[in-house]
Amino acid sequence: MASFRKEVVLATKFHIGKTEVENRADTALYNGIRYHLESSMKRLKTDYVDLYYLHRLHELVPVEEVAEVMGRLIEEGLIRGWGLSQVSLETLQKAQETVPVSAVQNLYSMVERDCEKEIFPYCKERGIGVVAFSPIASGLLSGKVTAETKFEGDDVRKFVPQLSKENLAANQPILDVLAEFSGRKGATNAQISLAWMLHKYPNVVPIPGSKNQERILENLGAWEVELTEEEFSELEAALAGCTVYGHRGHMESEQKGFRKNWDK
């Protein structure tokens, strides 16, 4: 069994609202963020939060101003650390130089590798955690999403281009690689996709999402799937030989002002 420390991190996020943007008084941003934090703490029944993220940078609010507020909240003992979500290296650097960042929550999976270029090296060097969201590529890498799968109700996968019928078919070679490894390791495809990133980076924490208890336990089981160096290299080489078709979609990866782009 892989050895790891089980630690519970209570993390939550906020989004900069209209009031904080329009009211440019000196204390407006602090008051606004503190209000969001206190509301979250009330709902979570806690008097502090381990990790408080800014969900998306607002184009009218410099990240340095947010960092200063976060620094103040840390000093006040209301949060232990702060983080950013879906940010570029440039933004992260500005933030880090103002008040050190604990974690960055960015899109990362076998089929969404942008973070590998700059974010991972920068974070690794500075001891910043990278929390990988959509690590199973919205279910794609589990191999259980097929052309017949229907996404209903509020399931955001309706809008994920990577899950279109055409892209599912075109990405089959990636699923074949995963199936080969999962057969060999007595694991599932989803577990291999998570074990791969846990092996690859010491500072990555994948956060797979599921509404299904069995799958949550299955995904947690990825901690116990150990890839040898040889297996990892073989897997990397096989993946490097595959082309990725489609992406997760702009609404999660490129938006700046959350609501404005969501409506589009």
The residues of the shown chain that bind ligand NAP, judged by CB under 6 A, are 85-86, 105, 133-139, 142, 144, 157, 190, 207-212, 215, 218-219, 252
Closer CB to ligand NAP, residue 96 or residue 138?
138
Closest distance of CB 225 from ligand NAP, Å:
12
SS (H, E, C) 188-249: CHHHHHHHHHHHHCCCEEEECCCCCHHHHHHHHHHHHCCCCHHHHHHHHHHHHCCCCCCCCC
Closest distance of CB 135 from ligand NAP, Å:
5
How far is 262 from 255, CA to CA, in rounded Å? 8
The partner residues of 131 in beta bridges, in order of sequence, read 105, 205
Closer CB to ligand NAP, residue 11 or residue 79?
11
Closer CB to ligand NAP, residue 9 or residue 28?
9
Ranked by CB distance to ligand NAP, the top (closest) residue is 209
Closest distance of CB 156 from ligand NAP, Å:
7
Radius of gyration of the chain (CA): 19
The residues, any chain, with a CB within 8 Å of residue 86's CB and separated by 6 or more, are 56, 105, 106, 107, 252, 253, 255
Closer CB to ligand NAP, residue 20 or residue 252?
252
Closer CB to ligand NAP, residue 23 or residue 146?
146
The residues, any chain, with a CB within 8 Å of residue 4's CB and separated by 6 or more, are 223
Closest distance of CB 147 from ligand NAP, Å:
16
Closest distance of CB 24 from ligand NAP, Å:
26
